[in-house]
Amino acid sequence: MSESKFSAGWGRQGPYDFIFLGAGCASLSIIMRMIKSGKFSDKNILLIDKKPKTENDRTWCFWEKDHGFFETIVYKKWDTISFLSERFASDINIAPYKYKMIRGIDFYRHCFREIEQQENIDVLYGNVTQAVVHKEGITIHIDGEMVHLNYGIIFNSILSGGTKAPGIINLLQHFKGWVIETSQEVFDPAKAIFMDFRVGQKDDDTTFAYFLPLSATKALVEYTLFSKEVLEDGVYETELKNYVENILHIKEYQVIEKEFGVIPMTNRKFSFYECRYRYNIGTAGGQTKASSGYTFQFIQKQSKFVVDSLMQGSSLKKIPATPKRFRFYDNTLLHILYHRKLQGKDIFSRLFAKNNPVQVLRFLDNESTLREELKIISTLPTLPFLKAALKEF
């Protein structure tokens, strides 16, 4: 593997069989599956990102039944999750699922350790401003310079700017998290708080916290909102402090790590296939669930489809898109949240109070049956959802 910052005369100028724009979860997940398959060692691969992945910049949480592809780097997992609100509170055993957490830094280190062993993979650092496919090949613009490559398949995970076209909803899921540590053993490591709506609801936007105990003395706590705009940093800090001290009643603790993130929640349609030789993956390819922001497991499903298709020699265009009915459900909920027709805390409380929680998780994973979906939908307020559904339809 060669690794460099772009400069004149940089390394190999192709041909590359696969080019990955962005070294995030989606690109690395596909590359890792390629490596593990043992079927791509004769293919030249180029991975481009603006800078090395050296920070713990995010945390992925998801539920999964069995040992997953990245099981060895799961930092913590739980059999029981808690849902807490004024109208419904419960500790939920989610078997056969487990709720899992992977830290960004562990994911990056794991992937790049493998990549460093591969002589057929080059890593290039620079800011990609444009990638153009033309008759002679592909030209990638990096930091004002151009890299000319022969034809290869481009997998792009760089999200393009949003749109304000009529009918497009653009919400943000934004959050700030603390890893806190106490001198006394005060946490129950066996139980995670999945959603806690006891925090104040700002302007009727969806606002909640979650709490993931990593040990008896250490935990990750996140303050999360679904709204149109991010907050001033001091607001997140104040709300986190209030949640830890006045709701969880933890008075003596230290903040040892912090993280902040923003996830787009939109009814904008993202296409996997963009044009000849170019495919969008990850959030750029529609793998962030519009109504919840969950991304990691959807990326894993797409990554498996991609690598399986490549190994079988089948067209990537045949990879199934998200079923239309799930996009319709997501868009309907987004419409309600965006226009503040109902509070998010009431919707999610009804979902978990009136349904089998395991079926709700399957529904949120886009893996439920139509019969299960109709039952779940029937537990939600009919008139607001019907009006929103007609608008989105």
What pLDDT is stored for residue 265 in this prediction?
92
d(CA 378, CA 389): 13
CATH number (3.30.70, 1.10.287, 2.60.40, 3.10.110) of 170-266 reads: 3.30.70
What pLDDT is stored for residue 379 in this prediction?
96
What pLDDT is stored for residue 6 in this prediction?
38
What pLDDT is stored for residue 7 in this prediction?
36
What pLDDT is stored for residue 162 in this prediction?
65
Name the β-bridge partners of 207. 225
Contacts of residue 190, defined as CB under 8 A and 6 or more positions apart, other chains included, come to 78, 79, 80
What pLDDT is stored for residue 149 in this prediction?
73
What pLDDT is stored for residue 8 in this prediction?
34
* Residues present in the chain in total: 393
For residue range 222-271, list pLDDT tens digits in order: 999 999 999 999 999 999 999 999 999 999 999 999 999 999 999 988 88
Cis geometry, peptide bond prior to residue 323 (ω within 30 degrees of 0) = no
Which of 69, 73, 61, 67 shows the shortest CA–CA distance to 99?
Answer: 61
CATH topology of domain 2-56+103-160+268-318: FAD/NAD(P)-binding domain (3.50.50)
**Is the pTM higher than 0.85?**
yes
Name the β-bridge partners of 181. 218, 254
For the chain, the straight-line distance linking the first and the last C-alpha, in angstroms and rounded, comes to 49
What pLDDT is stored for residue 364 in this prediction?
95
d(CA 176, CA 239): 10
**What's the DSSP call for residue 243?**
I
C-alpha to C-alpha distances, 147 to 14, 141, 343, 357, 383, nearest whole angstrom: 9, 6, 50, 51, 55
| DSSP SS3 for 314 | coil
pLDDT along the chain (393 residues), means of 10: 42 73 96 97 93 92 95 97 95 96 97 96 87 76 78 85 78 95 95 95 90 97 95 96 96 95 91 85 92 93 96 91 92 94 94 96 96 96 91 79
